[in-house]
Amino acid sequence: MKKRFDPITLEILWRRLISIVDEADGSVARTAFSSLLRDAHDYTCMFTDRQGRELAQGTFATPGQSGAMALGVKRLINQHPPSFYQPGDVFITNDPWALAGHLNDICVISPIFYNDRLTAFTACVFHHSDIGGRVASDNHDVFEEGLFIPFVKLYDRGVLNDSVVEMIRWNVRTPQEVLGDIRSQVAANHVCSEKICEMLKDNKLDGLDELSDQIIDVTEKTIRAEIEKIPDGVYYGEGIVEQMKGKGDIILKAKVEKKGSEINVDLDGTSPQVDWGGNVVYNFTYAYVFMAIKSMFAPDIPNNEGCARPLKLSAPEGCVLNCRFPAAVAARMGVGHFLTEVIYKAMSHVLPDKVIAGSGGTPAAMNVFYGKRRNGKNWHSVIIRGGGMGASRKKDGNYVYIFPANGANTPVEIFESDTPLIVEKRELLPDSGGPGRTKGGLGKREVFFVPDDEYAPIPPVHLGIQAGRYIHPPDGLFGGRPGARAQFLVNGVPGNSYGLTQLKPGDRVVIDAPGGGGYGDPFERDPEAVLRDVREGYVTIDGAKRDYGVVIDMEKWAVNYEETERIRKKG
């Protein structure tokens, strides 16, 4: 007879599973070599049952990686019969179409055995700062983008495959860091495996099958109940993504059909795949559609396969959101991150309390710096930058967030210790948040300087950028206005954000992140809230009057309500 867990026991065991993945996650912060992993947290740990169904992921998992892994790991695992997997095996791949969408995301997968029986799988994806190749968004196919690792054994029954290690070593610029980070992945999987076996022993369980069934079923029923609360209907959303000069815009289209407890998303009408790195594989597209749906209907339920069962997604093969091999995919977040925003637009009128305006952290902006130090040693560093978050119906947008991805801004001190460069400035940009009844979050400015002294690097310093919003700013909602656009300057002149920029000692780079879109009519914003923004330096005196119709008496530092009312009535 199938075992059933009472609600209290189920909750205890469920939370323990999540804490186990979080412990594996924490091991990464202690053992990873790259600051992109240690400090920016661009990685995801998870584990599945023996059928490959996702059971738990790290609390701070990145949506693009975790959503793609939920599909990809299951498919990879089920390519082989259970007898194929042996204790001590560890597999590795960075196939973009199999997993997370570009070559930098390397996945390490390990089977978990308990009492000599295959019980589960644990996996982690790290965004490796360096995977070789030409570090730019304007590559024409995946072969230009770096080392492609098929699904192979890194360890065979506990024995390291030295040939795979050497293949990786000789195809990247900073092999010590890359191989150190792969060892960190193996360690994270080991932690997860050990702790799951301990849990099974402590609770006298033979395996995870029955627990897995119940967790997934409870989750599915909960999210379906939330979906059923909104009316059946078909809702449409559209987004525009700019490309490099002369190529026109990419159009993203979504038809969201809600029927009963099902959500069907159809991306037909989306632009064809492109001849640069903005192409998105199906897994990554699915990840950000799923992120939008889950954030609206069940944001507090821990992710597992049950969350995804009500969602069906179709994307025409060959479109930019379901590209064919060997399309260039390195900058896939420059397009894929917009999917959450498009779904929000589609659902905004039926779920106005559950969506936000366009965000300046959509897409997350990635800067790749690399070169040689004065002593000839290679260095390579990646930072991910956020922008102002879009406002919601009830709250102003947060400042400088990476959304819908998550992650952290790398501290200046860490960046300067990893590179020979100097960060001269990192500051919020007043008036960059889109005006609205609730205000979009502020963007920020960062200024990088290539020193021209005894510490100067050997030129050139290479800079690759994956970003967006230089032409089309983040949209507002329900009368809210757009946030500020992004900007990229080299010595005061607009740079090429798609190509590979070569810098020399004495060069200065300015990068502005966009602000978030506003929500609602700006003239409905509480004048005292505008005054507070002015006092804190988030809105200028001129911006208060221009954008919100609020006049500030500079001598009294108070709102001039008579003038404010006159301006607002005039419109």
pLDDT per position as a tens digit, 315-352: 999 999 999 999 999 999 999 999 999 999 999 999 99
At 454, list the tokens.
């005894």
Q: Are 389 and 430 in contact (CB under 8 A)?
A: no
Beta bridge partners of 254: 237
Neighbours of 9 (CB within 10 A): 13
User: Over the range 491-521, which residues count as b (16 or more CB within 10 Å of their CB) and which as e?
Assistant: eeeebebbbbbebebebebbbbbbbbbbbbb
At 190, list the tokens.
């080991």
**Cα distance between residue 56 and residue 300, in whole Å:** 14
At 287, list the tokens.
């990840």
Distances in whole angstroms, Cα of residue 276 to Cα of each of 94, 144, 287, 338, 485 = 19, 11, 21, 17, 22
Residue 1: the pLDDT is 59
Looking at the predicted structure, is the pLDDT value of residue 39 above 90?
A: no
DSSP conformation letters of 9-61: HHHHHHHHHHHHHHHHHHHHHHH---HHHHTT--EEEEEEETT--EEEE-TT-
Q: In this structure, what are the phi and psi dihedrals at residue 248, rounded to the nearest 5 degrees? A: 75, -175
Beta bridge partners of 155: 90, 160
Quote the mean pLDDT of the chain.
95
**Cα distance between residue 232 and residue 234, in whole Å:** 7
Residue 406: the pLDDT is 85
**Cα distance between residue 33 and residue 378, in whole Å:** 15
Q: Are 365 and 486 in contact (CB under 8 A)?
A: yes
**Cα distance between residue 400 and residue 408, in whole Å:** 10
Least Cα distance to 56 among 89, 82, 29, 23 occurs for 23
For the segment 257-283, the average pLDDT, to the nearest whole number, is 97
**Cα distance between residue 91 and residue 69, in whole Å:** 14
Q: How does pLDDT run across 201-235, given as a tens digit for each residue?
A: 999 999 999 999 999 999 999 999 999 999 999 99
In 3-state terms the chain splits into helix, strand, coil percentages (rounded to 5) of 30, 25, 45
Q: Would you place residue 476 in the very low, low, confident or very high pLDDT band (cuts 50, 70, 90)? A: very high
